[in-house]
C-alpha cells in the first residue's frame, strides 16, 4: 500500500478524498507529513475524510506515530497516521 504524503501546500479536501478512496479500496490508509504545516493539513484531511466515510457507514480512527525517513541523505522525523475503520 502506498503512503499518502502531505505537504503544507496540500489541499486538505483533496487529501481527504484520497484517504477516503484508499480506505474504501484497501480497508486502511497511511498518511505521512513532515513539518508543522504538513501535519496540520494531514490532520484536517483525516477529519474531513471521516465525514466522507461516515456517509458510507464507516467510522474511522487515526493512530499517529513518529517515523524516521531519509530525504536526500538527511534523516527527518515524520508523523505517520494510520487511518482505519473502528
Give tens-digit pLDDT for 9-45.
999 999 999 999 999 999 999 999 999 999 999 999 9
Q: What is the dihedral of CA 66, 11, 60, 18, to 10 degrees?
A: -100
DSSP per-residue codes, 17-63? HHHHHHHHHHS-EEEEE-SHHHHHHHHHHHHHHHHHHHTTT--EEEE
Out of 2.40.30.10, 3.30.110.20, 1.10.150.20, 3.40.50.720, select the CATH number for domain 3-85: 3.30.110.20
pLDDT of residue 1: 67
Q: What is the mean pLDDT of the chain?
A: 96
- Element at 20 (helix H, strand E): helix 12-26
pLDDT of residue 72: 92
Q: Has residue 46 got a pLDDT over 90?
A: yes
pLDDT of residue 10: 97
How is the chain split into domains, by residue range?
Answer: 3-85
| Measured distance CA(15)–CA(32) in Å, rounded | 11
CA 44 to chain centre: 9
pLDDT of residue 2: 87
Amino acid at each position: 500500500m502506498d503512503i499518502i504524503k502531505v505537504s503544507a501546500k496540500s489541499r486538505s479536501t483533496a487529501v481527504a478524498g484520497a484517504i477516503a478512496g484508499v480506505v474504501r479500496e484497501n480497508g486502511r490508509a497511511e498518511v505521512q507529513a513532515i513539518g508543522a504545516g504538513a501535519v496540520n493539513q494531514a490532520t484536517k484531511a483525516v477529519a474531513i475524510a471521516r465525514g466522507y466515510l461516515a456517509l458510507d457507514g464507516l467510522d474511522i480512527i487515526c493512530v499517529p506515530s513518529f517515523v524516521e525517513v531519509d530525504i536526500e541523505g538527511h534523516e527527518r522525523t515524520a508523523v505517520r497516521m494510520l487511518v482505519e475503520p473502528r
